[in-house]
A and B are shown apart, each in its own frame.
Chain A
Amino acid sequence: MAAEPRVMGLFADDAKAARAIRELAAAGFTFRRAHGPIPSDRIREATAGRGSPVGWFTLAGGIFGFAFGFALAIFTTSQWNLIVSGKPVIALIPFFVVGFECTILFSVLGNVVGLLLCTRLPDFRGLETHDPRCSCDRFGVLASCPAGREGELLEFFRKKGAEVRVWP
């Protein structure tokens, strides 16, 4: 079965792009992706995007880091069981510093892992349908249609005030 033809409408502003996304389904076309040089709340609302799960990765990293920091400090001092300045060998207040720093470190590492997994980066295949103008000043809306309706999709985008680009 041949792949559905894909057409990208390139809009000068995100409001027009968001309106086109909302009307694509009613016109019988399938919305694929939107591209833009900046994050857009209008496009996010139009695509009915759900919340991002990145925060869960961050939280998991933070909890692990806090436990790891404390455990590391307790383990190392208990291996060299020497009382310094009359302080207890396992002293929770100074170990909080280590726990805190590890919380931040592992939260950030969790954040980066979450970001990479959710955005599916590195993703060089995604560039096949990427127009360079979308990293400058255009908001691109990529849509597909059943074979033979490319002309209608082109016309749809043109009526919305977009430049168009057809992907083979």
Chain B
Amino acid sequence: MSELSFARIDETVLGTLAPPRRGYWALVGALCLGVLLGAGCWAYQIAVGIGVGGQNIPVAWGTYLINFVFWVGIAHSGTLISAILHLLRAGWRNPIARAAETMTVFAVCCAGLFPFIHLGRVWQVYYMLPYPNQRQLWPNFLSPLMFDVIAISTYLTVSALFWYTGLLPDLAAVRDRAEGFRRKVFRVLSLGWSGAHDQWLHYSRGYLFFAALATPLVISVHSVVSWDFALGIVPGWHTTIFAPYFVAGAIHSGLAMVLTLMIPLRRIFRYEAIITVDVLENVAKTMILTGLLVGLAYGTEYFIAWYSHNPVEWESFRWRAVGEYAYGLYFMVVCNVLLPLLFLVRAVRRSLAWLFGLSLVVNFGMWWERFVIIVGGVAHDFAPHAWGLYAPTVVEYGIMAGSFCLFFLLFVLFCKHLPSVSMTEMKETVAHGR
């Protein structure tokens, strides 16, 4: 970082906001088509009925819930990087904090869509809101599904406000160098921020509180998501390990997505001096830890199933390893636990190709982990005559592809229109020599 100056940081980051070329708009167009495909599939499901999806008894929770948990998981590392590492004064998080926070906001948006899609009759979503009504019906907060409504909406609100607050000084920097209509837009967006000493005094204090509040929130949200399953009596779900298991998995998958997004971003925007290989290496080192935690959770689940002498529980886990979905279990163990151990080798941690490749592998493995947990539990529970299998339909694949396109579309639009690296935090890094 020694070669960086305040002016060079501004020049590099603001340079990324130059008018995009045709290739960028072609990518935006392609992603828009993907979003339209997903929206079309959802519209078709609304018109025809939820039966166009593959969910049916006994597997009533399929890809919609898998993708919900997957996207909530992706959202978690953004808060880890922006809040927890901020409190720990880990300077290496500064170059990637903004993009990770943005990833969090967009991932929560994608996650939040899936319960609506899964509802089928989405126009009745207001049933979940507590308000006086003629039906005399109120949501029951004994249900973990209602915990989820509160937790996810809180997480979306907090992460969006945290993200915007962090952006304020950078929006002012863009405003000060913009001209014409763009200047007017950024003048409003920056709320007239001038970097006055009293503004910084309150801002620093407020940002610290944001970080302190977001830290327990991030732990609680995925714990609440895990209780959607753990509070049910389904074998394979009903376990107290789920909260830390889900939190570790969420951070693992989120860090993988950070690498997936940061490596192309670094290359396209020539961020090499800002997002150094050391920064990416630190993400990889953290993934070794989260991968081992996830591996510990996988092992503990099997140990408890065996040690409990509960035949239903043990059968459920035996079937996971040798049944129709056994490949999912092996995908998750290999992709999430074994292959990330390659990061123990320094040359792998510092190779962009390996980092990018392994990040994709972990993303793939973490999706399969959610498949194994969600589908595997209900497909093979207490009564053998009620066992059954599940396969997603074309409509579900379309909606899933649409959600991925939506996430990447929002991220691509963000990168070209707002500062994708926090200039303020980079300047603080340079000033304090961290």
Contact = CB atoms under 8 A, between A and B. Distances in A.
Interface centre among A38, A55, A98, A100 (most CB of B within 10 A): A38
Nearest to A89: B142
Interface residues of B, number: 57
Interface in B156-200: 157-158, 161-162, 165, 169, 172-173, 175-177, 187, 191-200
B139 interface: yes
A33 B10 CA distance: 24
Given A37-B169, A94-B147, A77 B138 contact: yes
Interface stretch (B283-291, B348-356, B397-405, B423-431): B423-431
B137 A114 contact: no
A121 B192 contact: yes
A39 B161 contact: no
Contacts of B176: 132, 135-136
Contact of B428 (A38, A58, A104, A118): A38
A28 B173 CA distance: 33
Interface in A33-64: 33-40, 43-44, 47, 49, 51-52, 54-55, 58
Nearest to B146: A98
Contact of B147 (A44, A47, A98, A119): A98
A102 interface: yes
Contacts of B220: 97, 100-101, 104
Contacts of B224: 97, 101
B140 interface: yes
A112 B191 contact: no
Interface in B197-234: 197-206, 209-210, 213, 216-217, 220, 224
A30 to B, nearest CB: 15
A119 B203 contact: yes
A73 B147 CA distance: 10
Contacts of B147: 94, 97-98, 101
B7 interface: yes
A105 B157 contact: yes
Contacts of A58: 206, 209, 213
B282 interface: no
A144 interface: no
A113 B6 CA distance: 31
A127 to B, nearest CB: 6
Contacts of B308: none
A24 interface: no
Contacts of A95: 141
Interface in A62-94: 69, 72-73, 75-77, 79-80, 82, 84, 87, 91, 94
B56 interface: no
Contacts of A137: 5-7, 10, 427
Nearest to A105: B154
B391 interface: no
B87 interface: no
A98 B140 CA distance: 11
Contacts of A107: 209, 213
B142 A91 contact: yes
Contact of A38 (B172, B187, B424): B424
B151 interface: yes
A130 interface: yes
Contacts of A112: 161, 165, 206
A39 B204 contact: yes
A49 B406 CA distance: 45
Contacts of A84: 140, 142
Contact of B194 (A35, A79, A115): A35
Nearest to A140: B195
3 closest cross-chain pairs (CB), A and B: A137-B6, A132-B176, A76-B138
25 contacts: A33-B198, A35-B196, A37-B195, A38-B428, A54-B206, A58-B213, A76-B138, A82-B140, A87-B142, A91-B142, A97-B151, A101-B220, A104-B220, A105-B158, A107-B209, A109-B157, A112-B206, A114-B206, A123-B191, A123-B192, A126-B194, A130-B194, A135-B175, A135-B176, A136-B7
Given A37-B423, A47-B197, 5 more contacts: A52-B202, A79-B138, A84-B140, A101-B150, A136-B7
